[in-house]
Structure 1
């Protein structure tokens, strides 16, 4: 069984299209999206439309939830978000807000006898960060009833064992924070004997296109430059 997991697209249609092209070349059996389709980037409706058209199972991200309710309920009240949240709230079509609001906050699958829990942030909260060696991450993994937790939200990919439990963070397609502008996602292979193998894909795409779009829309320089630098 071969599963591609994407997340944190954040209105970057160019990165999403490149990622789906690469996934199609990997010949996976299933694609799963961990949310944050909208926020920051200038093409939230196009991203939602493509996810819907491909019928990709998707969960709700914290930025998705905040755009639905139009408030800082699940995101930080920062200078960037003071622009990005109102912009996205106004830009995302009503039908797409209904779609985002309808998404579950987690998904469970069993592949070749291995139980997977898919979340955006933490199983405990949609907007909790699970950094690799943080105390709250260790606590979550010690309490995990499933075999594998697959999450995102930090925009930083990682895979680490905690005893007999495995944590996989798939990174970010649309707004990476890895010091370079490469869209990142995970390919997870589950062998018939239950062995789990993780490969992170780092892609190149024409990020200057989204930089140009942001510039034309007078987005703040901090958002525009993040697509070039891969930094927040």
Structure 2
């Protein structure tokens, strides 16, 4: 991706986080990115194109900051990590009190909320959500090799939905980020049955019982 294109997508993420999807105006986006509106249309064709690619950009940026824990630069290489540790990192790093994560999570929430009223957004959002859930389900499969694919998929849906809900409460000031992380960690523990193969699962493949 070119630096100019990336700069426009970074600016679109900031504007959406600040004003919501309905507040995304080409003039403001151009000013935020330091480019002309003509250049935005050249790269993205129309408003729908900007929203579509901003969703992709947000997902890719989240993949990046959940893959690397900057507080621990000497981490074990990804291929050598304990599967459970990798799963916890990928989910817990969605709840970091940094400008990048706040901006990314807020913009994602605005795009999801707008999809209720803008059908054109739903397909793109569903595709990105499915990819996220699929990735988490794969991590669950490595961390819990005794579970079934159905159970892992259901657990991934629950955990990613919990991340979104906790993010909203944290970002809106209803929940301290430390408490949000503790709650998410507890949910991961419940889904994995505290490391006991098959523990915590009912006949329907459930894991987290709220206790």
Q: Place the TM-score, normalised by the shorter chain, in its bin.
A: under 0.3
**TM-score (norm. length: structure 2):** 0.25
The structure where helix makes up a greater share of residues is 2
The structure where strand makes up a greater share of residues is 1
Structure showing greater radius of gyration is 2
**TM-score (norm. length: structure 1):** 0.23
Q: RCO higher in 1 or 2 (8 Å CA, sep ≥ 6)?
A: 1
